[in-house]
């Protein structure tokens, strides 16, 4: 399995966080199966083309598929990282993990629909594969997508908050505590941008929906600042420990 390959030789991850779990638990196995099912839902929505025009339309649809796939893999990797770093499962983690899996499966179709609609508009898709959108549908579509983002990253944040609360039990050192707090800020930034996108699309109406979508570009600089600050502070802590 991919999890086993990723953790076969490493003692710490690339951020210097100790890996506490190498074996795939039953909870992780179930989670991988659900993520695999979610990817299957993306694939089965693709139909075998009957004409050359349908083939070209399907190839344009692969861009939306690739974007949806990338988002799903990003969520899976966040899930994978949590269990490798902390290696513990209690009742709250099981509940939060189950809720996350539910949201992921529910999230697939809105995710694929949004990317298909937006990329179809940008690429000028025509024919039966073009997703028709009324001018008033934009705010609702942006809200559905952003609410899904909020749900996913709120649940991941709750899992990290649970690990932080158990920091004494997990024997987290200063660097690991710093990185845990950095991850919580990482998820808070995602949630904040999603909320901002919803507010922007509803305040400005359909005309502001493109700006609400572009607001997600703020993730780049904000996450870069968060990562830089955490990395710099972690380096200082490691230097202090080694001196």
> Going by C-beta distance under 8 Å and a sequence separation of 6 or more, which residues neighbour residue 32?
1, 3, 24
**Cα 163 to Cα 87: distance, rounded to the nearest angstrom:** 10
pLDDT of residue 111: 82
> Going by C-beta distance under 8 Å and a sequence separation of 6 or more, which residues neighbour residue 212?
139, 142, 197, 198, 200, 201, 204
**Cα 218 to Cα 214: distance, rounded to the nearest angstrom:** 8
Calculate helix-pair angle for 174-204, 137-165, nearest 10 degrees: 160
pLDDT of residue 45: 61
**Cα 205 to Cα 192: distance, rounded to the nearest angstrom:** 20
pLDDT of residue 194: 95
Contact assessment for residue 109 and residue 41, using Cβ atoms and an 8 Å cutoff = yes
The single residue listed with the structure tokens 């004409």 is 51
pLDDT tens sequence for the chain (243 residues): 555 555 454 588 877 888 988 788 899 999 999 999 988 888 766 666 667 776 666 666 677 788 888 999 999 999 999 999 998 899 999 999 999 999 999 888 888 877 777 776 665 554 445 555 566 677 888 898 899 999 999 999 999 999 999 999 999 999 999 999 999 999 999 999 999 999 998 888 888 888 888 899 999 999 999 999 999 998 888 888 776
pLDDT of residue 164: 96
User: Would you call 29 helix, strand, or coil by DSSP?
Assistant: helix
Domain boundary assignment for the chain: 2-242
Contact assessment for residue 85 and residue 18, using Cβ atoms and an 8 Å cutoff = yes
pLDDT of residue 127: 44
**Cα 96 to Cα 103: distance, rounded to the nearest angstrom:** 11
pLDDT of residue 128: 43
pLDDT of residue 3: 53
Instruction: Give strand ranges (E) for the chain.
Output: none
Question: pTM higher than 0.95, yes or no?
Answer: no
């Amino acid at each position: 399995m991919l999890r086993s390959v990723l953790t076969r030789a490493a003692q710490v991850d690339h951020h210097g966080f100790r890996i506490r779990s190498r074996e795939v638990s039953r909870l992780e196995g179930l989670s991988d199966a659900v993520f695999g099912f979610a990817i299957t839902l993306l694939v089965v929505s693709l139909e075998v083309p009957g004409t050359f025009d349908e083939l070209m339309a399907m190839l344009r649809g692969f861009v939306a598929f690739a974007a949806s796939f990338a988002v799903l893999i990003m969520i899976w990797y966040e899930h994978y990282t949590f269990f490798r770093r902390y290696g513990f499962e209690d009742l709250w983690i099981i509940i939060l993990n189950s809720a996350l899996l539910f949201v992921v499966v529910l999230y697939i179709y809105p995710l694929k629909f949004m990317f298909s609609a937006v990329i179809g508009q940008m690429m000028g898709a025509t024919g039966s594969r073009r997703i028709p959108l009324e001018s008033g549908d934009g705010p609702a579509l942006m809200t559905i997508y952003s609410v899904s983002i909020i749900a996913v990253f709120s649940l991941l944040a709750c899992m990290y908050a649970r690990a932080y609360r158990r920091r004494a039990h997990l024997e987290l050192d200063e660097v690991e505590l710093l990185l845990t707090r950095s991850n919580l800020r990482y998820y808070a930034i995602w949630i904040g941008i999603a909320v901002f996108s919803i507010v922007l699309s509803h305040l400005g109406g359909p005309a502001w929906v493109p700006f609400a979508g572009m607001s997600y570009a703020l993730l780049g600089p904000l996450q870069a600042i968060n990562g830089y600050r955490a990395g710099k502070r972690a380096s200082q802590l490691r230097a202090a420990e080694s001196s």
